[in-house]
Amino acid sequence: MYTDKTVAYYTLGCRLNFAESSTLAYRLQQMGFTRVKTGGSDLVVVNTCAVTEQATAKCRQQIRKLIRENPGAFVMVTGCYAQIDPQALISQVEGIDLIVGTEYKGEDITSYLGDLSKNSEPKVISTRFQEIHTFHASCSADDRTRHFLKVQDGCDYFCTYCTIPMARGRSRNPHIADLVASAGNVAQHGGKEIVLTGVNIGDFGRSTGEDFFSLCRALDDVEGIERYRIGSIEPNLLTDELLHWIANESKRFAPHFHIPLQAGSDEVLRLMRRRYDTALFRRKIELVRQLLPDAFIGVDVMAGMRGETPELFEQSYSFLDSLPVSQLHPFTYSERTGTRALEIKPIVPMPERHERTARLVELSERKLRDFYASQLGSSRRVIWEEVTAGRKGRQQPMHGFTENYIRIETECNPALFNTCQTLTLDGSIGESTQGLVIKIR
């Protein structure tokens, strides 16, 4: 049907969005579309994000740019921003033909393309977030080595600062058997690593009566997969049972944890309506360190939340400074329409928010360097990733990650692409275009 047609994509936001775009790209390719970077394309697809004010501004900017670069193209916009505020997109960006909400983001999205002739008015295919029920399966296949497998979608937590439940609906998931089949498929295609991704993956099982621990144990038996990484998991859902199993029994789950804290002050956690306190968080981190001393622990933290007085921020900073974690992922609080945080006072001035974020970034850099230093000389298993030749065909160094998420750099050897190697981290800590690395000879 679309054999002579071209499509240009743009995805913003989280790993989940990239997995979903990758799956959509595969479907459109099956329908005959040829993917192009941009410029003169017949179809433009933008998968949007709405997690912060900056993210929505960037979406509008990118859509306008793609419309300029692809005059006459049929423009389809989907993703969280499309679900949360289609009218804002229509009123602020001219030239959009189709806006598709979360409920329709999956299988049948292509049935709205027609013959790609532009609509006089933007068409909106969407529902209220309360009516989002469908789980659309996705698994990214852009990278030969690492695949992002969507295991869960939506969230029932409604933290006061967050719009994601309004963008993605209630917590839901497929059956364990479906995900085991998807992992098997990745193994068949030579994939080595799978990252379990979703919105609140620890809440897996909500719509099938299963649970996250059972999912992990079932996936652990899939032959051909070298390792799994657990994407972001809420601290109250990272059970002791799961940690003991990963440390003592699992064959394939990596010692790598990404755990959102958001604030290191119980008062601020209460204002956020998070489901744990700093005591629980510290206990979890200490249990990980006790069971898996060399595990990589990344922690999400927000700066400048409504109600976060300078004293409460200092409390948060000292708590984070005292935690034996590997890296922080700091971001600045931004007001989101329709969230209860808007009722909270006092409001932290934006320059103050940015200053706090900058201090957390500095703290994170120190922790990451200390963690890398602690791994020098250790024996680790690296999966080498494919590299494309650099500018003027100059050979780029090769990179790979260890099981505990250390980025390793060495001289390029295409024979090692997408293979696993056990080696001793004899080398030096350095910087690469992608961040901190251990350079080995």
**Which residues contact ligand SF4 by CB under 6 A?**
155, 157-159, 162, 164-165, 199-200, 234
- Residue 300 CB, nearest approach to ligand SF4 (Å): 9
Of the two residues 42 and 234, which places its CB atom closer to ligand SF4 in the complex?
Answer: 234
Nearest distance, CB of residue 10 and ligand SF4, angstroms: 23
Report residue 382: phi and psi, to 5°: -105, 140
Q: State which amino acid sits at residue 289.
A: R
Q: Locate 85 and state its tokens.
A: 């505020």
Q: ∠ at Cα 307 (305, 312), nearest 5°? A: 85
Q: Is the peptide bond before 346 cis (omega within 30 degrees of 0)?
A: yes
Q: Compare residues 46 and 199 and give the one whose CB is closer to ligand SF4.
A: 199
Q: Which CB atom, from 210 or from 234, has the smaller least distance to ligand SF4? A: 234
CB-based burial label for 167 (10 Å; 0-12, 13-18, 19+): buried
Comparing CA positions, the residue from 100, 97, 92 lying closest to residue 120 is 97
Nearer to ligand SF4, 192 or 274 (CB): 274
The single residue listed with the structure tokens 């990404």 is: 258
Torsion sign over Cα 35, 22, 104, 39 = negative
| Residue 51: both structure tokens together | 């997690």
As measured in angstroms, the least distance from the Cβ of 336 to ligand SF4 is: 10
Residue 234 to residue 205: CA distance in whole angstroms = 15
CB of 97 to ligand SF4, least distance (A): 30
Task: Report, in Å, the least distance between residue 406 CB and ligand SF4.
Answer: 27
Tokens representing 29 are: 């390719």
CB distance 116 to 5 below 8 Å:
yes
Closest distance between ligand SF4 and the C-beta of residue 260, in Å?
7
Residue 114 and residue 249: Cα distance in Å, rounded? Answer: 52
- CB nearer to ligand SF4: pick between 66 and 305: 305
How many other CB atoms sit within 10 Å of the CB of residue 15?
Answer: 17
Q: Please identify, using beta-carbon distances, which residue of 164 and 368 lies nearer to ligand SF4.
A: 164
Cα-based distances in Å from 359 to 304, 305, 313, 348: 12, 15, 11, 16
- Closer residue to ligand SF4 in complex, CB, 67/164: 164
**Shortest distance, position 302 Cβ to ligand SF4, whole Å:** 9
Residues 345-357 as b or e (16 or more Cβ within 10 Å = b): eeebeeeebeebb
CA distance 85 to 125: 12
Residue 233 vs 292, nearer CB to ligand SF4: 233
Q: CA-CA distance, 37 to 34, in Å (whole number)?
A: 10
**Buried-exposed string 274-285: b where 16+ CB fall within 10 A, e elsewhere:** bebebeebbebb
Q: How far is the CB of 34 from ligand SF4 (least distance, A)?
A: 36
Closest approach of ligand SF4 to the CB of residue 335, in Å: 15
Q: Could you tell me if 341 and 364 are in contact, meaning their C-beta atoms sit under 8 angstroms apart?
A: no
The CA–CA distances, whole Å, from 161 to 12, 53, 206, 278, 346 equal 20, 12, 23, 18, 14
**Residue among 125 and 155 whose Cβ is closer to ligand SF4:** 155
SS3 56: helix
Nearest distance in Å: CB 67, ligand SF4: 31
Q: How far apart are CA 400 and CA 412, in angstroms?
A: 11
Residue closer to ligand SF4, measured from CB, 165 or 264: 165
Of the pair 93, 268, the CB lying nearest ligand SF4 is at 268
CB of 33 to ligand SF4, least distance (A): 32
